[in-house]
Amino acid sequence: MYTKHKWKSASHYNFGYVKYLPKDFDETKKYPLVFFLHGAGERGDDLDKAMFNGYMKHVREEGREYPFIFIAPQCPEGKYWGCFTESLLAFLDEICATLPVDLDRVYLTGLSMGGTGAWMLAMADPDRFAALVPVCGTGIYWYAGTLVNLPTYIYHGDLDDTVPVSESISMLSAIHKWGGTKAQIKILYGVKHNAWNAAYSDDELLEWMLSQRRTPQTTE
């Protein structure tokens, strides 16, 4: 079951967002949370766009059910996720405070512009997340030391001509250079920019993500 909402905050950007709750949702239980950042093509004020790709695509088109709470804020037209780091973290605070979220199982993922946004949000507050899944995005190499303890699974197409696969490879190398051992990459050979189709259809990736639990991070 998914619904559309508007976050109201006096001090932060008021995101429109999509909320998905598992079947037989029970407020007395704790659930993992998947926090999803969409790509540049889904910006605006039409929340149907925020569900165009990723896990919600499978919910809409196939009626698939997932065992987690899913939250997808929408970025306004002409902006990018890096403009809203503080607002995203405050929004996530409220989601975690008002829904029965297992705080040790909060997962961050995004595609393209959202993949970049996921890198940036994770680097801003790595202690918050149990795992990071950036899809065809790019991060900040010199700040990769913040992610050494965060389980990270990167997806990228080798023929991507929008965000070169070298961006993801460089992030992986930088994490390893800082001593991180929990980051890995899946390069999709013969795939261009739409690596998200494979990533969010990969049950092994989903199983990996949901098996991760938060551990203390090291900040450099």
Q: What was the pLDDT predicted at 1?
A: 77
Q: What was the pLDDT predicted at 116?
A: 98
Q: What was the pLDDT predicted at 215?
A: 74
pLDDT, mean over the chain: 95
Q: What residue spans define the domains of the chain?
A: 2-211
Q: What was the pLDDT predicted at 220?
A: 44
Cα–Cα distance between 131 and 152 in angstroms, integer?
A: 6
User: In the 8-state DSSP scheme, what is residue 140?
Assistant: -
Cα–Cα distance between 195 and 202 in angstroms, integer?
A: 11
Transcribe 33-96 into DSSP letters.
EEEEE--GGG-SS-TTGGGSSTHHHHHHHH----SSEEEEE-PPTT--GGGGHHHHHHHHHHHH
Query: 216 pLDDT band (50/70/90 cuts)?
Result: low
The SS3 assignment for 111 reads strand
- β-pairing, 2-6 vs 16-20, is antiparallel
Report, as an integer, the average pLDDT of 44-68.
94
158-172 per-residue burial string, b: 16 or more CB within 10 A, e: under 16: eebeebbbebbeebb
Q: Return the CATH fold of 2-211.
A: Rossmann fold (3.40.50)
Contacts of 78 (CB under 8 A, 6+ apart): 43
Please count the helices (runs of H) and the strands (runs of E) in the chain.
6, 8
Query: 219 pLDDT band (50/70/90 cuts)?
Result: very low
Q: Which tens digit of pLDDT belongs to each residue from 204-215?
A: 999 999 999 997
Q: Which tens digit of pLDDT belongs to each residue from 93-116?
A: 999 999 999 999 999 999 999 999
Q: Which tens digit of pLDDT belongs to each residue from 154-198?
A: 999 999 999 999 999 999 999 999 999 999 999 999 999 999 999
Q: Is pLDDT of 75 > 60?
A: yes
Q: What was the pLDDT predicted at 146?
A: 96
54 Ramachandran zone, left/alpha/beta (phi>0; psi -120 to 50):
left
Report, as an integer, the average pLDDT of 61-79.
96
Cα–Cα distance between 61 and 126 in angstroms, integer?
A: 33
Contacts of 32 (CB under 8 A, 6+ apart): 67, 68, 69, 101, 102, 105, 106, 107, 130, 210
Contacts of 93 (CB under 8 A, 6+ apart): none
pTM over 0.85: yes
